[in-house]
Amino acid sequence: MTNKKNQQRIDTLREELDSHNYSYYVLDNPEIPDSEYDRLLRELDELEQQYPELITTNSPTQRVGATPLDSFSEVQHEIPMLSLGNAFSEQDMTDFDRRIREGVEKKNIEYAAEPKLDGLAISLLYENGLLVRAATRGDGRTGEDVTLNIRTIDAIPLKLRGENYPAVIEIRGEVVMPKSGFDKLNRQQLEKGEKPFVNPRNAAAGSLRQLDPQVTATRPLSFYSYGVGLIKGMSLPNKHSVMMGKLKLWGLRINPESRVVKGVKGCLEYYEQLAKKRNSLPDEIDGIVYKVDDIKLQGIMGFVSRAPRWAIARKFPAQEEMTKLLAIDIQVGRTGALTPVARLQPVFVGGVTVSNATLHNQDEIDRLDVRVGDTVIVRRAGDVIPQIVSVVKSKRTGKPRRFYLPDTCPVCGSETARFDDEAVTFCTGGLFCEAQRKEAIKHFASRRAMNIDGLGDKLVEQLVDEGLIHTIADLYQLNVENLVKLERMAEKSAKNLVASLEKSKKTILARFVFSLGIHSIGETTAQTLANHFTTLENIMGADEEKLLAVADVGPIVAENLMTFFNQEHNREVVEQLIAVGINWPKIKKKSANDSPLAGKTFVVTGTLETMGRNDAKAALQELGAKVSGSVSKKTDYVVVGENPGSKATKAADLGITILDEKAFTKLLTQ
C-alpha cells in the first residue's frame, strides 16, 4: 500500500470513529456494536504503529498513553467561570423572574432550562477545531490543566465536527460519572480491597485529578456541555439554546433533558417534571439551571459579585446530610436474617425527615468503621432506603467501641450463625423465633414440604395474628370449632383444612426434613440425608464427621444442621410434631453394592408430587443406580409423574418398565 493510500485509509478510519463517537455520545443512537468499533480502532492503531509519521494528536488512538505528571499546572481563565445564585423554593424562583422582568422591562421571559449535573466543571479550549487545553474551574479565575486526562474521555471530541466553527472557542461543561459506571467502579474497588467512592461526583473528581492519565482512562467518565466562554472568529447567536444547538452539531454532548420554557410558570412545571424523573436519570443531578435564553438580555442584566444576574440554580432537596448516630439496633427478618439499623438524630434529607438508616450487615459496619456516637453522612435518593455512606472521622470524640452483631437472637435468644461464603448473620431458631414464625409455617405447609392443602399464606397470617398458632406444631391442635371463628372461614373449609392436616401426618422422612426450613437444606439434600441416615434420630445426632461422609454435604450444610438441632427450642418443636402423630415409612439402609437397584438405569419424567426430580435422582444415585436424561434400549425403569411427555410413550413402545410415583417410592424403601 502506498503512503498516499495509507494516509487515505487512516483518514477514513479517523472520520468513521469520530462519526460513531458522535452518534453514540451526542445523538444517543449508536450505529454499530461495540465490537465493530473496537475492530476499527484496532485497525487504525495497527496502521499508525506501522507508519508513526502519520500519527496526529487528534487521532482517536491518542486519547491515552501520555506519561504521568508530577503535578498539574495552573491555567488562567480569560473569562471567569462564575458560580450561580441558588433558589430553594417557588418563592425564590418567582422573585428571580420578577427581577429579570423588571430589569429588562419585559412581561414574559424565555428561559433555557437544563439539569444541574453533580460533577466537575471543565473548560475545553479548541483552536481551529482541535482540542488544545482543558482546565478545571478551580476558584473561577485559576484552574488546573487536566488536558491529558480529558483526552481519555470518549464523549469529548479531540476535533470539532464540520467546518463552520470559530477559530477559537472555549466550551464549558460538566464531567460526570454515570450511576451505572459508579456502581461498577465501587464493586471493583471493594473486590480489590480498596476504599469505595462516596458518590459519583467524588468519583468523577478523583478520577479526573489522577496524575497518571492511564488511570483516568479506566474510569467510566462522560461529559455534557452547558455553555461557552471565550470565542473568536464568530459572533454569538441571539439565543443560548441556538448556541447549544451549534455545539451539538460540532460534536459536543448536550443534555437531552434541556428545554426552553416560558416564564416562571414554565420554570416551576419543568422543576416538577424533572424532580419525578430524577432517580431514573442515568446521571446524578442536584437541581436545575435556568438561564435567560436571549443573549442580548443577558448582556443587559450583567453580573453581580461572582454570579450572573441572568441565571440561577434551583436546588433539589439535598440527598446527603450530616447527622449523629445515636444507636444501632438489630431487626430480625422473616427469614431469620439479622439486619443492623442505625438510629439517627433526625435530619431532613432527600425531601423527608430521616431518623433510621440501614447498615446491611457486619461487613458494611466494618467497611465504614461506623461506631455509636459518630457523625455520619446519610444519603437518601428517591424511594431508596436511607443509608450511611461514610463517617466524618474528624468529628469523632472519645474512644467509641466497635459494634458487632450479637451471638444470640434478640427476639428468641437462639444462637446466631454466619458462614464464610455469606454476608448475612441469621437466627438459628427457625421453628421457635417469633420474627420468623409466619415464614416458617408457610414453608412447612407448602406443597413440596408437608403439602397441607387449604393452608395458604393469608390464612397462615390470620392464624398467627389471632394467636391460634405460635409454632408449626400448633397447626395440629387446630379444630373446626376455633377455625370457624375466623373471618371468612366457612365450616366446610374448616373441615377440609382439619382433614388436610390429618392427611399430612403421613409423609416421608425427606419431606419432613425439608419442611423444617433449615438454612441451606433443600429438597435434594434432605433426600440424600434421609437415604444415608434412614432415621430422624440419626440425622439429629450426627456430628460433623458423620455428616461430611454424606455425598453432597459440605462444611456449611453440616454446620447448619448441627447448629439447628443444637437449639433446644427447635428440638422441642420437632418432638411435638412427632408426638402429634407425624410419621413416615421406615427406610431400610442399603449400600450401593447390595442394593437391587445398583447398576440399573432410570429415567425420571414429568412432575413428581412427593419429591422433585433432583431429589429422585439423588435417592437413586445413593442406591447405586444410574440416572439418564433420555430413554433407550439400555433403560431399565422410567419413573413418570404428571405430564410425562414423549419419554413415557417411548418407554411403552420399547417395553420398558414404567413406574408411577407410588411404585417408585415403594421401590426406594424396599
Tens digit of each residue's pLDDT (9 = 90 or more) over 485-533: 888 889 999 999 999 999 999 999 999 999 998 888 888 788 889 888 9
Burial state string for 4-18 with b = 16 or more CB within 10 A and e = fewer than 16: eebeeebeebbebbb
Q: Which of the four pLDDT bands, split at 50, 70 and 90, describes residue 296?
A: very high
The DSSP line for 460-485 is HHHHHHTTS-SSGGGGGG--HHHHTT
Confidence of residue 189 (pLDDT cuts 50, 70, 90): confident
Q: Is the pLDDT of residue 271 over 70?
A: yes
Residue 132 and residue 244 share a domain: yes
Stretch 318-345: mean pLDDT, rounded? 88
Residues 116 and 38 in one domain: no
Q: Domain with 341 in it: what CATH number?
A: 2.40.50.140
Same domain, 91 and 49: no
Say if residue 538 is in the same domain as residue 488.
yes
Q: Does residue 438 belong to any structural domain of this protein?
A: yes
Q: Among 280, 295, 315, where does a domain finish? A: 315
pLDDT range class, residue 117, cuts 50, 70, 90: very high
Q: Is residue 417 part of a domain?
A: no
Question: Which range, 16-25, 551-560, 571-580, is most confident?
Answer: 571-580
Residue 235 inside a domain? The answer is yes
- Count of domains forming the chain: 5
> Is residue 499 in a domain?
yes
How much is the pLDDT for 135? 92
At residue 134, the pLDDT reads: 93
Q: Max CA-CA distance within the chain?
A: 103
| Strand-by-strand arrangement of the 222-232 sheet | 130-136, 120-127, 168-176, 222-232
217 and 121 co-located in one domain: yes
The helix (H) or strand (E) run that includes residue 524 is: helix 523-533
Residue at 185 is within a domain: yes
- Give the range among 102-116, 364-378, 522-536 with minimum mean pLDDT: 522-536
Q: Which pLDDT does position 403 carry in this prediction?
A: 92
* 396: Cβ contacts below 8 Å, ≥ 6 apart: 371, 373, 374, 375
Structural domain includes residue 592:
no
The band of 131, judged by pLDDT with boundaries at 50, 70 and 90, is very high
Residue 332: domain span: 320-395
Q: Is 413 inside any structural domain?
A: no
- 460 phi, psi to nearest 5 deg: -60, -45
Residues with Cβ within 8 Å of residue 311, at least 6 apart in sequence = 84, 85, 289, 290, 291, 292
Domain-terminating residue out of 373, 395, 417: 395
What are the cell numbers at 165? 466553527
State the Cα–Cα distance between residues 338 and 244, nearest whole angstrom. 53
Which residue from 287, 291, 295, 288 is spatially nearest to 310, judged by alpha carbons?
Answer: 291
CATH number at residue 265: 3.30.470.30
Contact 456, 496 (CB under 8 A): no
Which among 116, 590, 600, 647 is annotated as catalytic? 116
- Percent above pLDDT 70 for the chain: 93
Same domain, yes or no: 257 and 336: no
Judgement on whether residues 525 and 477 belong to the same structural domain of the protein? yes
327 contacts: CB under 8 Å, gap ≥ 6 = 342, 343, 372
**180 and 245 belong to one structural domain:** yes
Active site residue 116: yes
Mean pLDDT of the chain: 86
Pure H helices in 151-223 = 179-191, 200-208, 213-217
Strands 626-628 and 601-605, how do they pair?
parallel
Asked whether residue 311 falls in the same domain as residue 326, the answer is no
The residue count for the chain:
670
Query: Can you tell me the distance from the alpha carbon of 575 to that of 473, in angstroms, rounded to the nearest whole number?
Result: 9
Q: Is the pLDDT of residue 2 over 60?
A: no
When pLDDT is cut at 50, 70 and 90, the band that residue 541 belongs to is very high
pLDDT, one tens digit per residue, over 19-77 is 877 776 666 566 776 667 767 877 887 888 888 888 887 787 776 555 555 678 888 99
pLDDT higher than threshold 80 for residue 418? yes
Higher pLDDT, 75 or 384: 75
**Cell output for 657:** 418398565
8 A C-beta contact, residue 432 and residue 570: yes
